Structure 1
Amino acid sequence: MYRTRSFPPNKEGRDFVVGDIHGHFKLLTAALNKLDFNTELDRIFSVGDLIDRGPDSIDILNWLEKPWFHAVRGNHEQMLIDCISGHGDIPRHIRNGGAWLYELQPDIQQELSKALQALPLIIEINLSSDQTIGIVHAEAPVIRSNDGWQEAKDAITGSSGEPHQRHALRTALYAREKIEQQDHTSIKGIDRLYVGHSTVPSVIRLGNVVYIDTGCSFSDGALSLVDIQTETIISISMGQ
């Protein structure tokens, strides 16, 4: 099932969005400590690719149980789901950092797949200022040139038909067209959209789309978080 999830304004604490984590949960913990993250009041939203490449991918089961941690599904989550269901390309997954999975017991593999299947493809967060913030892994799944955020959500959930849904899923999980073309067109119907997937040297913005995967799975990369309300950026480099 492919779904979207909406969150009400956080009137008590702060909201952060974090780039691709890729199993570097110790780095994420260091970032949250630096931010004095308050687990009673604050929330963190992930653009997906929580697993593979880094040392602590198995920790995702613990993180997904935290009531203040929320994530969309990325292409690495989809690769795990596909491989465990028997429809994936296991050698490709291993080449892309998935070898850790196949060292686990089958029941743990199934538990991971089930947990990741529960992740939405799209998250939207309503701010107290009447703004709406979107989160998707790779690109907004707009199918036609005049589509906006609502049409993207309809495509993901399948309410605009199966062919549109298939196209929308590929776009949400894998697309890089907007950044490759340096397309500054804004996505209609949303104030700001945070994405990962395409590695950038520092957080960049194209129109109202913000790219926040600063490559924490590479030795010269960093894990970046953005305070959604203030748009303040914090980055923790791999060397720290």
Structure 2
Amino acid sequence: MASVLDISVQHHTANRSGRDFVVGDLHGCVDALRHLLRLISFDPTCDRLFSVGDLVDRGEQSEQALALLDKPWFHAVLGNHEDTLCAVAEGRLRRQWWYGIGGGWAAALSSANLQHYAEQLRTLPLVRVVGSGPERFNVLHAEFFGTDAELDAGNFSSKTRQQLLWGRELAMGKGDPQRQRGLSLTYCGHTPMRDIKQIGSQVFIDTGAFGAGGRLTIVEPKALRRWSISVEEARAEGAAALALP
């Protein structure tokens, strides 16, 4: 599903004026995000929120999740579900296949609207690198085997790109964490976990917000803090009435 428009790696300087957070796979669960942003007293003038991708599908608020791309404080990487949306918009994949993995929300979307979303999503990088030296952390969707230098180079083969978007070797115990020596702490999603879990250099923060018993998780890398809530709990707390920053 590669596209010539793919952006490989985007670097961000360390945040000296505010805090940085990373959120797990949203999958259209924006009400849970509203609650968590209020809980952490998120300040859009100086704080930043990085996303491991998969903004859309499965949850009820995919279009609201896509609207986050217009927020200056929100920085997402491409997830496999966004990549699938783009493939459908570009005529490389049938809509029915996408609907089978949660894209049914888009059944009523016109081809023009779908194309608009695809154009936005194609501006997202596969990897975001935040800071440098000991305080550096990486954000990507699924998995990467290699060093920081290899990640920074961004010369990803089709196989590596597939791993960045769809890989589960590490999460399923089939990938060797030693292949990640020289890789800074790397936040990822894609594979739902009961709780945050570190394997090798990667920290899996997708806690299945869209599913029964699942929760949306936000972490603050520098402070090693975390917050989680289910969509149901967030709505019971009045999250639907909260404005996003």
TM-score using structure 2 length: 0.87
DSSP-derived class of the 1:150 partner: helix
Contact 1:186 1:208 in 2 (8 A): no
2:177 matched to 1:189? no
1:232 pairs with 2:225: yes
Given residue 178 of structure 1, which amino acid in structure 2 is its aligned partner?
Answer: L
1:15 touches 1:228 (CA, 8 Å); kept in 2?
yes
Q: 1:236: how far off?
A: 0.9
1:100 corresponding residue in structure 2: 105
Letter in structure 1 aligned against 2:184 = D
2:194 alignment partner, one of 201, 214, 227:
201
Residue of structure 2 aligned with 1:54, choices 59, 64, 67: 59
CA distance in 1, matches of 2:47, 2:152: 26
**Structure 1 position 30 matched with structure 2 position 22:** no
Q: Residue type matched to 2:183 in 1?
A: I
What runs of 5+ residues in structure 2 fail to find an aligned partner?
Answer: 234-245
How far has the Cα of 1:153 moved from its partner? 3.9
Counterpart residue number, 2:142 = 138
* Corresponding residue number in structure 1 for 2:238: none
The percent of aligned pairs where both chains have the same amino acid is: 33
Q: Which residue of 2 aligns with 1:44?
A: 49
**Is contact 2:55-2:66 (8 Å) kept?**
no
Is the Cα contact below 8 Å between 2:29 and 2:231 reproduced in 1? no
Which residue does 2:13 correspond to in 1? 8
Q: Distance in 2 between matches of 1:107 and 1:40?
A: 33
Structure 1 residues 151 and 78, CA gap change in structure 2 (3 angstroms): same
Unaligned runs of 5+ in 1: 159-163
* Cα root mean square deviation, aligned: 1.6
| Match in the other structure for 2:242 | none
State the AA in 1 paired with 2:78.
Answer: R
Matches within 5 A, 1:83-98: 83-98=88-103
Superposed displacement of residue 167, structure 1: 0.8
Q: Which of the pair has the greater relative contact order for Cα pairs under 8 Å at 6+ separation?
A: 2
C-alpha displacement at 1:206, in angstroms? 1.1
- CA distance 1:239–1:69, shift in 2 (3 Å): same
Q: Deviations over 1:39-91 (max 9, x none)?
A: 11110000000000111111234210111000000000011000110101322
State whether residues 186 and 206 of structure 1, in contact with CA within 8 Å, keep that contact through their aligned partners in structure 2: no
Counterpart secondary structure, 2:171: helix
* Counterpart check, 1:174 vs 2:179: no
Check conservation: 2:29, 2:65, Cα contact below 8 A. Answer: no
Q: Distance in 2 between matches of 1:101 and 1:172?
A: 24
CA shift for structure 1 position 166: 0.4
SS at match of 1:189: coil
Distance 1:14 1:186, change over 3 A: farther
Q: Which residue of 1 aligns with 2:209?
A: 216
1:121 lines up with 2:126 in the alignment: yes
Contact preservation (8 Å) 1:219, 1:238: no
Q: What number of residue pairs does the alignment pair up?
A: 227
Task: State the alpha-carbon separation in 1 of the partners of residues 34 and 195 from structure 2.
Answer: 20
Paired AA for residue 150 in structure 2: E
Which residue identity lines up with residue 179 of structure 1 in the other structure? A
* Partner-residue secondary structure (3-state), 1:121: strand
